[in-house]
Structure 1
Amino acid sequence: MTLDDLRVFVAVCRAGSLSAAARELSCTQSAVSQHVRRLEKEVGTGLLERHPRGVVPTPAGHILRAAAADGLGTLDQALRRLDELARGESGSVRVTTGATSVRHFMAAAIVAFRRTHPLVGLEFQTVSSSRGCFEALAAHDLDLAWITLGAPERGIELRPVVELPWVLAVREDDALAPGPSVGPEELRGSGRLILPPVRSTSRAHLDERFAELGLPGGPASGPGTADWDTAVHLAELGLGHALVPDLPGLRDPGGASAPGLTLLPVPCLPPLRVGWAVRRWSALSPAARAFADTVGHTCPGRTPTPG
């Protein structure tokens, strides 16, 4: 059993097929098959179930994949730090997050971190979902993932940083705009809600609460969108009511929303928690821990309650 065998096996599980893993790894499908067969021979049992449209791990494969992904990620971090020490470099901090998170949550932290760590590089990899962040952590030598917090993932440690109350973004000439807040009846009556994508962590939070409020499956929605800034912009254009977290940057320093837009509190929805996900905090480099702490100290918003 070699590290290459394990890397290929994890790639196959992630890609869902031998051919897709071969394309990802820039090798032949037969080479991928050889790695998997060698592992299966060594462990004495099948690791993959073959189906017409790809492969899925067997119960034994799930066990090996979880252990291999965790171990390879930690090893990649260690090798990178050793390489930086050998070359006498100060290293870099690699972060994966959504398309708009840097602007909303990290702008002040980046400026502060550059002042205190001028020789450390900052690299950002954009993904479209928290699930994508988890997969990127498992697949690459990334340090930190900034995500919407949901259920814990095996081999991933979570650290809440900020809680964001929900608001409904509507045009200032909308019938709901004069109200002080939005309750279940207004949500139930809105046929133009702009919501997060169905499979996103934030949408799962909303759907759970909608069910508790007697709105099974969530209310009828307007145009779909993959990021909060686009949702707010669609509301500004009059295409619907955008249900979004009260993100840093949605208001000016005085607390006012953008001209032509009204942000109405939605107190019936629990705040959304966002923060860091890592493979292991104890394995982070000092620079990565410093950047994570800097974001926590400078990020506007409400500190999460324990639990």
Structure 2
Amino acid sequence: MRDLDLTSLRLFVAVCETRNIARAAERQHIVASAVSKRLAQLEATVGAPLFERRRRGVVPTPAGEILLEHARGMLAGADRVARDMAAYGRGVKGLVRMLATVSTIAELLPDDIARFLQAPAHREIRVDIEEALSRDLVRSIREGVATLGVCWDAADLEGLQTRTYRHDRLAIIAPPAHPLARQAECRFEETLACEHVGLPASTAVHSMLARAAAIAGRPLHYRAVVSTFDASLRCVRAGLGIAVVPREVAEPIAQTVGVRVVPLADPWAHRRIVICFRDEDSLSPAARMLVEHLEAASRAAPPPAAAAAPVRRRQR
């Protein structure tokens, strides 16, 4: 099979997304006949039909669906190359691409990266950070899409090297009048009688809570499923249920939002956040310096036991 050219792949993706050659041509600022010619050449190159022509447009064939998945990855990689080369043209001497889970971005990671970039020795380094689910993050690190990942060590990190970054602790957030809000801490099993506000099923927290509920032999009832911790806080404030979030995310804004934070007493609620990568010896100097900086931030943080100690409230 001959090499695939990026222009044809971009037109192919545009047709898949619009399901119409004329609309795809308009989006790409090219005439429809040129798009049709490119698609015919692409089908000849891969040796399989890529579209089924229908009365209202076109739809990808099974072969087209497979090519679409690969094409998006190839185009994303080409775009990253273009951005990286442009950065070097502007004077950047080192670039680190990092993936991180939503909880790590919501906690201290952005501040730690900002301090790293503010150091005079790092002024010519650029760090690109993107949010990702744990499973996608790990796969991307293995495939070399990104250099570093930051996630909960409950993820499947087999084959990757890791360094400890920070520790956090899961807690429930509840309206002030909720029965659990009066406790200094609680076990997760106690929350199973309540309706929950949860994160999507693809997140590591959701999987851990489902496992804990199964071990307890009781169902976990979700009244709402949201994609961010901020949305969780708003739903809890509105009285839709309680939510399990990192204490480090909730405590700084709990009083402002009007919710109570109750740490979970379960051992698995104490989490270790790690930096992961394929091979330390193959890291660029910029990536290695960033790993060392984040490790130093971990050493400067309070020890896990101290960080996990609950704030005792006077019982009424």
Q: TM-score if structure 1 supplies the norm length?
A: 0.62
1:194 deviates by 1.7
Q: Give percent identity, aligned residues only.
A: 21
Note if 1:111 corresponds to 2:115.
yes
Q: In 2 relative to 1, CA 190–72 (structure 1 residues): closer, same or farther, beyond 3 Å?
A: same
- Is the 2:251–2:261 contact (alpha carbons within 8 Å) kept by the matching residues of 1? no
> 2:43 aligned with 1:40, yes or no?
yes
- Alignment of 1:183 with 2:185, yes or no, is no
Separation in structure 2 between the aligned mates of residue 22 and residue 38 of structure 1, nearest angstrom: 17
Partner Cα separation in structure 2 for residue 124 and residue 250 of structure 1: 22
Task: Output one character per residue of 1:165-222: Cα deviation in whole Å (capped at 9) or x when no partner.
Answer: 43212345532232642232x232113x221134545334433443443345x3143x
Tell me the amino acid that sits aligned with residue 178 of structure 1. Q
Cα displacement string for residues 72-122 of structure 1 (whole angstroms, at most 9, x for unaligned residues):
555555555555555644365565667775451321232133214123345
> What residue ranges of structure 2 are gaps of 5+ in the alignment?
305-316
Preserved CA contact (<8 Å) 1:169 1:263: yes
CA gap of 1:214–1:9, structure 2 versus 1, over 3 A, is farther
Partner of 2:7: 4
Matched, 1:261 2:292: no
2: CA distance, partners of 1:207 / 1:19: 45
8 Å contact kept, 1:96–1:145: yes
Q: Residue 199 of structure 2 aligns with which residue?
A: 196
Please tell me whether the aligned partners of residues 194 and 242 of structure 1 are also in contact (alpha carbons under 8 angstroms).
yes
* Alpha-carbon distance in structure 1 between the residues aligned to 2:138 and 2:273: 14
Contact 1:74 1:279 in 2 (8 A): no
Confirm or deny: 8 A CA contact 1:235 1:241 kept in the other structure. yes
Deviations 1:250-280 (A, max 9, x none): 447xxxx758623231517566676668899
Structure 2 CA distance for partners of 1:178 and 1:92, relative to 1, 3 Å: same
Q: Quick check: 87-96 or 278-287, which moved more?
A: 278-287
State the alpha-carbon separation in 1 of the partners of residues 11 and 84 from structure 2.
23
Flag the 1:188–1:288 CA change in 2: closer, same or farther, 3 A. Answer: same
Higher helix share: 2
> Which structure carries more relative contact order (alpha carbon 8 Å, separation 6+)?
1
Query: Judging changes above 3 Å, is the alpha-carbon distance between structure 1 residues 220 and 239 closer, same or farther for their aligned structure 2 residues?
Result: closer
Which structure 1 residue ranges, 5 or more long, are not aligned? 303-307
* Number of residue equivalences: 285
Structure 1 letter corresponding to 2:263: L
Equivalent of 1:219 in 196, 218, 221: 221
Contact 2:172-2:242 within 8 A present in 1 as well? yes
Q: Does 1:229 align with 2:230?
A: yes
Residue 42 of structure 1 and its aligned partner are, at CA, apart by: 0.9
1:166 and 2:170 aligned: yes
Q: Which has the larger radius of gyration?
A: 2
Q: CA RMSD in A?
A: 5.2
